[in-house]
Amino acid sequence: MRDFAPADGKLSCKIAFGSENTTFSALPISYNESMNKPNARLYLLSLGFSPTSRGYRYLLDLTELQRRNSILPLKYNGYRILAEQYHTTPCCIDKDIQNSIGRAWLTAPPELLYREFGATVDAHKGKPTVKQFLLHMYERTET
């Protein structure tokens, strides 16, 4: 069981292991005060992303890169920059992001996903493509 909820500018995480409950607080989460939009970290956590996955880190980095320059097309711009930074290949970057999106789609409430993504979800796969997800996330968290 995972429960992520912002409280007083901090992210509280409650994880149940068998009969024990462990609670900890992470660093403060910032909001875009002018438009009341969450930052990218809070947005990903609210969708059920695991902060320990590489795909989560890559999504945050791609969002930051998009703020500075265009990352499209992903294969030639965004993924190439991250691959050089993390000493890996663009294919690994793409696959890690796909795996993170897939895991989040299995754990997040369907109502939340439909409310957030609605018609942008690929009808065959049941989840958005990496490009669709990144552009939607950027739009929702843009400062």
> How confident is the model at residue 89, as a pLDDT?
95
Residue 39: CA atoms inside 13 Å, Cβ hemisphere, count?
14
> Looking at residue 19, what DSSP letter applies?
T
Question: Phi and psi for 40 in degrees, rounded to 5?
Answer: -65, -40
> How confident is the model at residue 54, as a pLDDT?
95
Secondary structure class of 56 (helix, strand, coil): helix
E strands along 19-140, which residues?
Answer: 20-28, 31-32, 37-38
Tens digits of pLDDT across the chain (143 residues) = 344 444 444 444 444 434 444 443 333 333 333 344 568 899 899 899 999 999 999 999 998 888 888 888 888 889 999 999 999 999 999 999 999 999 998 888 888 888 888 766 666 777 888 998 998 888 888 75
